[in-house]
């Protein structure tokens, strides 16, 4: 009991310090190229920055789809040399990043373009961090502010509407040796330019559209209900929630709906803007470990874990969940906060159901639960400013609910 009280005071003190820091830190904001076809404008910008030879970090799926072609043609037209590094896998590993660093150096590049989902963007970010900080192994960059020297110019072209990595200070890496997934957080990881082009998202398959969209919703919700939000992040989180409620199922059922795709690209960016300043919570702490342990896609893990975590902290977050229900257009001012908060959680469950997202994690093994809980709490405490602090027993119980 005394230990728990001591821990609560320690965590809450740290949260206050971080809240203050997040308000005074000069978070860089990428320049935005936005709207259908905007990807064609990036080459000119790269040229104007004096960058002559870029590494394009992407994956084989996107190369086979020919998705980067329009962009690569525009690089040719602008006389910018490029080398394609397409070895990125979902949940990028340390090895995959180190291979990218070798290519960057061998080809004497002087800029980086991330073309893809969060995996490509995070891989590109850490390639950049390693190129500039050669003495610093990736594992030692884990945590906050461990990237000392600035990255080469970094440009992000997201092709999923989910992670918000195009505007965040974070990059997430998997360590296959320990089956851990960890984040590197540094202001220097924010790209110079982010391209939000919905045309690149039209071919995103429905099951990736849905899960990456639920990742964006998780960012908005965790940023809003956590204790470190401020009026700026609150506005972004509310705007993202409304856009996601209104557009995610449309984009899921009709991938060619350009307006829905455009709104989801914006929602993902807004949610990224919110959580990079206000942080995430237990949904991400547990989801990262499902990714590290079993390779469960990040968005899918978040989509499944979001409702159980909100049920765990519903009372503590009642007012804020009610705000989000109103902001998301599923409630009215004046309705009881309890009803609105319950309706908000039900809405998440309904969206998952409509988009055929399961409510359990099929890879999860009962015997792994203690280790996953231990690692999830080690990730969350003391950094994540969660509305209700979870004990080890509560965490194990919650993860147990995710068993098939």
The site for ligand NAD (CB under 6 A) is made up of 59, 61-62, 65, 67, 90-91, 116-120, 122, 159-160, 162-165, 168, 170-172, 200-201, 203-204, 208, 212, 215, 291, 298-299
Q: Which is nearer to ligand NAD, 65 or 106 (CB)?
A: 65
Distance in Å, CB of 94 to ligand NAD, minimum: 13
Q: Which residues are registered as beta bridge partners of 59?
A: 87
Q: Which residues pair with 184 in a beta bridge?
A: 143, 171
Measured from the CB atom, the residue of 196 and 326 that comes closer to Fe ion is: 196
| Measured distance CA(395)–CA(377) in Å, rounded | 8
Alpha helices in 1-139 (DSSP H): 2-24, 42-48, 60-65, 69-77, 94-106, 118-132
* CB of residue 157 to ligand NAD, shortest distance in Å: 10
Residue 159 CA to residue 164 CA, distance in Å, equals 11
Q: Which stretch binds Fe ion (CB under 5 A): 1-9, 213-221, 229-237, 393-401?
A: 213-221
DSSP assignments along 104-164, one per residue: HHHTT--EEEEEESHHHHHHHHHHHHHHH-TTS-GGGG-EES---SPPSPEEEEESSSS--
Q: How many CB atoms lie within 10 A of CB 20?
A: 11
Min dist CB 33 to ligand NAD, Å, is 17
Residue 47 Cβ vs ligand NAD, minimum distance, rounded to whole Å: 25
CB of 288 to ligand NAD, least distance (A): 6
- 264 contacts which partner out of Fe ion, ligand NAD, none, CB within 5 to 8 A by kind? none
Assigned token pair, 401: 């609910």
Does 87 bind Fe ion (CB under 5 A)? Our answer is no
- The CA distance from 404 to 342, in Å, is 24
Residues recorded for the chain: 404
CB of 8 to ligand NAD, least distance (A): 27
Query: Which residue lies nearest Fe ion, judged by its C-beta?
Result: 215
Q: What is the distance, to the nearest Å, from the Cα of residue 251 to the centroid of all Cα atoms in its chain?
A: 19
Beta carbon nearer to ligand NAD, 155 or 318: 155
**Tally of CA atoms within 13 A in the half-sphere of 330 that contains its CB:** 25
User: Tokens standing for 213?
Assistant: 């969209």
Contact partner at residue 299 from ligand NAD, Fe ion, none, CB < 5 to 8 Å by partner kind: ligand NAD
Residue 198 binding partner per list Fe ion, ligand NAD, none, with a CB distance cut-off of 5 to 8 Å that depends on partner kind: none
Which segment (194-202, 207-215, 368-376, 380-388) binds Fe ion by CB under 5 A? 207-215
Among 215, 222, 234, 323, binds Fe ion (CB under 5 A): 215
CB of 171 to Fe ion, least distance (A): 12
Select from 200-208, 210-218, 305-313, 330-338 the region that touches Fe ion (CB under 5 A): 210-218
Query: Per residue in 239-273, is it b (16+ CB within 10 Å) or e — as a string?
Result: bbbbbbbebbbbbbeebebbebbbbbbbbbbbbbb
Residues lying near Fe ion in the complex (CB under 5 A): 215
């Amino acid at each position: 009991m005394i230990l728990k009280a001591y821990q609560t005071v320690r965590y809450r003190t740290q949260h206050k310090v971080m809240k203050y820091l997040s308000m005074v830190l000069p978070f860089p904001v990428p320049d935005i190229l936005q709207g259908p076809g905007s990807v064609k404008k990036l080459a000119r910008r790269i040229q104007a920055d004096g960058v002559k030879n870029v590494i394009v970090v992407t994956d084989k799926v996107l190369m086979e789809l020919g998705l980067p072609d329009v962009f690569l043609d525009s690089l040719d037209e602008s006389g910018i040399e490029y080398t394609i590094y397409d070895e990125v896998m979902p949940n990028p590993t340390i090895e995959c990043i180190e291979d990218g660093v070798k290519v960057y150096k061998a080809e004497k590049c002087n800029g980086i373009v991330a073309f893809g989902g969060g995996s490509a963007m995070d891989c590109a970010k850490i390639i950049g961090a390693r190129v500039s900080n050669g003495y610093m192994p990736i594992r030692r960059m884990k945590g906050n502010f461990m990237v000392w020297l600035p990255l080469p110019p970094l440009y992000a072209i997201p092709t999923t509407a989910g992670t918000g990595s195009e505007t965040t200070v974070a990059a997430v890496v998997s360590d296959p040796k320990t089956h851990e997934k960890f984040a590197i957080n540094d202001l220097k990881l924010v790209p110079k330019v982010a391209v939000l082009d919905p045309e690149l998202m039209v071919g995103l398959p429905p099951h990736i559209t849905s899960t990456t969209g639920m990742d964006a919703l998780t960012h908005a919700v965790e940023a809003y209900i956590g204790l470190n939000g401020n009026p700026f992040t609150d506005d972004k989180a509310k705007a993202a929630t409304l856009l996601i409620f209104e557009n995610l199922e449309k984009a899921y059922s009709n991938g060619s709906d350009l307006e829905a795709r455009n709104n989801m690209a914006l929602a993902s960016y807004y949610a990224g803007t919110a959580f990079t300043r206000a942080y995430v919570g237990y949904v991400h702490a547990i989801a990262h470990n499902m990714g590290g342990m079993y390779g469960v896609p990040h968005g899918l893990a978040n989509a499944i874990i979001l409702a159980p975590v909100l049920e765990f902290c519903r009372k503590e977050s009642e007012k804020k969940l009610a705000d989000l229900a109103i902001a998301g257009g599923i409630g009215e001012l004046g309705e009881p906060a309890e009803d609105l908060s319950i309706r908000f959680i039900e809405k998440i469950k309904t969206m998952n159901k409509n988009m055929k997202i399961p409510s359990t994690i099929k890879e999860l093994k009962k015997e792994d639960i203690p280790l996953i809980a231990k690692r999830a709490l080690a990730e969350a405490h003391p950094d994540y400013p969660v509305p209700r602090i979870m004990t080890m027993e509560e965490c194990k119980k919650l993860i147990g609910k995710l068993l098939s």
